[in-house]
C-alpha cells in the first residue's frame, strides 16, 4: 500500500520486544492513511500488537517462557496475494543458536514424561485439541512447564480473532491425523507460533 503508508519493519528478539517499529515510530507515517497501521503494547516487554487496519491484519507477538510466539489474523485475499518470490517475511533470521534445543540440553533440564506434560497442559487447556497437543509437545520437548502459558495465550488469541467460536478448537480429526495415546500431533507440533485465521 505504497500510496497509504511508509514501509515499516518490526524486529523482536527474546528479552527485546519493543513497542515501536525499527525507526522508533508507532504508526504508518505522515501520509494520509498512515494511522491505519499502528503498534501498541498491552504488557511492555511481553505483549505487542501490530494492527494494519487497511488490510484487515492483526499480529500479536508475545514473550512467554523465554520464547517468542506470534499469532496473526489476516484476510484470505491478503494472505494469498504474495508469491514465494516476493519479499514478505515474518521471520527472516531463523532460530538463534541460543534458542535451539539440543538433546543433551534437554537431558540436563530434567525430563518430563508425557503423562506429566499432559497433566500440566490439561490444567489450563481442558479440551484436548490442537492447542492442548501443541502444549504437550512443547512441554515434553523443552522440559519447561512454563510453555503451558504460551499455549493458553495462543488459544486466547484465537478466541479474540475468530468471529465463529464454533471453529475455535481444532481437533486431530480436522487435520486428517489420528492420535493414539503414544502419538503427538506432528503437523501442528510445537507451540502454535503462527495462527493463521482466514476470513
The CATH number of whichever domain residue 51 belongs to comes to 3.40.1000.10
Q: Which residue has the cell 500440566?
A: 120
Phi, psi at 7, each rounded to 5°: -65, 135
Tell which wins on pLDDT, 161 or 19.
19
Closest CA to 110 of 87, 138, 142, 69: 142
Query: Rounded mean pLDDT of the chain?
Result: 74
On whether residue 6 sits in a domain, the answer given is yes
Q: What is the mean pLDDT of residues 83-109?
A: 58
Last residue of a domain, one of 53, 76, 99: 76
Whether residue 132 is predicted with pLDDT greater than 70 in this model: the reply is yes
Phi, psi at 119, each rounded to 5°: -65, -45
On whether residue 150 sits in a domain, the answer given is yes
Q: Are residues 162 and 94 in the same domain?
A: yes
User: pLDDT tens, 55-65?
Assistant: 889 999 999 87
Q: Are residues 72 and 141 in the same domain?
A: no
On whether residue 188 sits in a domain, the answer given is no
Q: Are residues 68 and 101 in the same domain?
A: no
Phi, psi at 90, each rounded to 5°: -95, -40
Q: Are residues 20 and 45 in the same domain?
A: yes
Last residue of a domain, one of 50, 76, 102: 76
On whether residue 47 sits in a domain, the answer given is yes
On whether residue 191 sits in a domain, the answer given is no
pLDDT at 97 (0 to 100): 67
pLDDT at 54 (0 to 100): 82
Q: Are residues 62 and 131 in the same domain?
A: no
Whether residue 158 is predicted with pLDDT greater than 80 in this model: the reply is yes
pLDDT at 50 (0 to 100): 94
Query: Could you list the residue range(s) of the whole structural domain that residue 2 is in?
Result: 1-76
Tell which wins on pLDDT, 20 or 177.
20
pLDDT at 80 (0 to 100): 79
On whether residue 199 sits in a domain, the answer given is no
Q: Are residues 115 and 68 in the same domain?
A: no
Domain count, the chain: 2
On whether residue 177 sits in a domain, the answer given is no
On whether residue 171 sits in a domain, the answer given is no
Sheet bearing 47-52, strands edge to edge: 37-43, 47-52, 57-64, 67-74, 196-198
Q: Are residues 104 and 37 in the same domain?
A: no
Q: Are residues 2 and 50 in the same domain?
A: yes
pLDDT at 47 (0 to 100): 93
Please give the model's pTM, rounded to 2 decimal places.
0.68
**What is the band of 33 on the pLDDT scale with cuts at 50, 70, 90?**
confident
**Range with lowest mean pLDDT among 34-48, 124-138, 152-166:** 152-166
Q: Are residues 1 and 45 in the same domain?
A: yes
Dist. CA 147–CA 193, nearest whole Å: 12
**What is the band of 112 on the pLDDT scale with cuts at 50, 70, 90?**
confident
**What is the band of 194 on the pLDDT scale with cuts at 50, 70, 90?**
very low
Last residue of a domain, one of 27, 53, 76: 76
Amino acid at each position: 500500500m505504497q500510496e497509504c503508508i511508509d514501509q515499516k519493519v518490526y524486529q523482536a528478539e527474546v528479552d527485546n520486544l519493543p513497542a515501536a517499529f525499527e525507526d522508533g515510530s508507532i504508526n504508518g507515517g505522515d501520509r494520509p492513511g498512515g494511522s491505519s497501521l499502528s503498534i501498541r503494547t498491552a504488557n511492555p516487554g511481553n505483549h505487542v500488537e501490530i494492527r494494519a487496519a487497511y488490510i484487515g491484519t492483526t499480529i500479536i507477538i508475545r514473550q512467554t517462557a523465554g520464547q517468542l510466539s506470534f499469532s496473526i489474523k489476516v484476510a484470505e485475499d491478503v494472505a494469498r496475494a504474495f508469491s514465494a518470490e516476493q519479499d514478505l517475511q515474518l521471520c527472516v533470521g531463523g532460530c538463534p543458536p541460543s534458542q535451539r534445543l539440543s538433546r543433551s540440553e534437554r537431558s540436563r533440564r530434567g525430563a518430563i514424561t508425557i503423562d506429566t506434560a499432559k497433566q500440566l497442559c490439561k490444567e489450563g487447556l481442558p479440551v484436548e485439541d490442537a492447542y492442548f497437543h501443541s502444549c504437550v509437545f512443547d512441554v515434553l520437548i523443552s522440559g519447561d512447564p512454563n510453555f503451558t502459558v504460551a499455549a493458553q495465550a495462543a488459544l486466547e488469541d484465537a478466541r479474540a480473532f475468530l468471529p465463529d467460536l464454533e471453529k475455535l478448537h481444532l481437533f486431530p480429526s480436522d487435520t486428517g491425523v489420528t492420535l493414539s495415546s503414544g502419538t503427538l500431533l506432528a503437523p501442528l507440533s510445537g507451540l502454535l507460533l503462527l495462527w493463521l485465521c482466514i476470513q
